[in-house]
Amino acid sequence: MSGTDIAFFLLALAAIAGGVTMLQLTNVVHMVIALVMTFLGIAGLYVLLSAEFVAVVQVLIYSGAITIIMLFAIMLTRHHTDERERQTTGGVWHKAVAALSVIAFGLAVYFGIRQLDFGADGSALAGDNARAIGKSLYSYYTIPFEIVSVILLVALIGAIVLAKKDGKGAEDE
């Protein structure tokens, strides 16, 4: 087993463990932290696939921006920690079944990958993926890129206008 295989299994284990942990937790903030663990594991898998640009975007957009948005949503809403809510996640039996399911899935994936023939080596990959993406984005896809940026700008202005209207209505009352 090579170092790449070990790194793959460790990162995949981190991603799966983060997802399963997120489903098992009851505190919403702890769930977000487990989700960040999943996002970082997936970003590591992208690095192993020689997709460094996608890995950086994964870390910046999902682990950064989306997580911050989720935390703000959590802080701006009310969450009651009631004793009945804690009991709905299941007990030891539920967690044992989840752990056995994850182990069975991991073994199935492991033996499936061990018997799989991947074919040719990935040595034909571009050396600098970010440069190739930039050239493609700004040469062949310039118009769609600009259209998306205008749509995002219109959405941002619309959100500001709607927020201003809500703010004026609250001040008048």
Whether residue 48 is predicted with pLDDT greater than 80 in this model: the reply is: yes
Residues written for the chain: 173
Annotate 81-125 with DSSP letters as a single string: --HHHHHTT--HHHHHHHHHHHHHHHHHHHHHHHT----S-STTS
Rounded Cα distance between 106 and 102, Å, is 6
pLDDT in tens, 138-161: 888 889 888 988 998 898 888 788
Q: How many CB atoms lie within 10 A of CB 17?
A: 15
At residue 151, the pLDDT reads 92
At residue 10, the pLDDT reads 92
At residue 162, the pLDDT reads 80
At residue 150, the pLDDT reads 92
Q: Which of 67-71, 115-119, 124-128 has the lowest mean pLDDT?
A: 124-128
